[in-house]
Amino acid sequence: MEASEQFNVNGSGTAASREKLVTDLKVVIQDAEELLRNTTQQTGEGFKAAKAKFENTLDNARTQLRLVEDTVVMRSKEAVRATDQYVNDHPWQSVGLAAAVGLIAGMLIARR
């Protein structure tokens, strides 16, 4: 299964939820690495097989995390480029849009 299928990073969902997913995965990977370090003295064939399978799963999670991070960075850069291009192509519309957003934000803040 590809990263885009597992984590659904192909446009749906918000950037905040993707960042939370990345943060949560980092925590899980750190906890798993610590668990593996703390169980190096354990013996037994069943335990060794389970540990090997767990290490493989952990490696896959690291790879998927890198793919998600790369995708988030790539899409953020694309959004910045697109925004920059739009502002350069339509400077007055951009100023008008920024003023309208500022006005709406000011009205919302004033209501509270």
Q: What is the DSSP secondary-structure string of 1-51?
A: --HHHHH--SS-S-HHHHHHHHHHHHHHHHHHHHHHHHTTT---HHHHHHH
Q: What is the pLDDT of residue 57?
A: 81
At residue 13, the pLDDT reads: 56
Q: Which ranges of the chain have pLDDT less than 50?
A: 1-12
Q: Please state the pTM of the whole predicted model.
A: 0.50
